[in-house]
Amino acid sequence: MGYYVSTAIVDFYIPDDKQEEAFQSVLTFVQDNALNLGEGAPTKLIDLLHLFGFNSVQTYSGLFLGSYSDKVSWISTLVMILSEFSVDGDGIPGGKIDWQGEDGEMFRWVVIDKQLFEQEVAHVIWATPVPLLPSVSFSPTT
């Protein structure tokens, strides 16, 4: 059992010059908690994040945390550790991750001054649906 979550919006990067330090911090957490991450010891942060279930990607802005869809379990602690090193897509210290839980509940983790905070959505009200019109006219050829 456990509570399943999926990322909705991710604006959370680890800059190139902070990846080794972040890797060592996460590795220490893994070792201190005797977490079993499977075969082979990862040597880079991106590989370690993949083992935790993130679809991380190296970009020009640094290591993008990427999408996640699984149990929340250790992820909050992992993101807390990474918050010390994180920046948003513009390179400004901080970052955010918007989540949706298995029950539809939405919440956001936001990094402020290297600390992780949670914001909950009070209530979402969807507008009345309107017809979607094509942005380009289409005429089939015969």
9 lies in some domain: yes
Establish if 39 belongs to a structural domain.
Answer: yes
Structural domain containing residue 60: 4-120
Residues 100/8, Cβ–Cβ less than 8 Å: yes
* Segment 34-89, tens digit of pLDDT: 777 777 778 999 999 998 999 999 998 799 999 999 998 889 999 999 999 999 99
pLDDT given at position 59: 93
Query: What's the total number of domains in the chain?
Result: 1
Predicted local confidence at residue 35, as pLDDT? 79
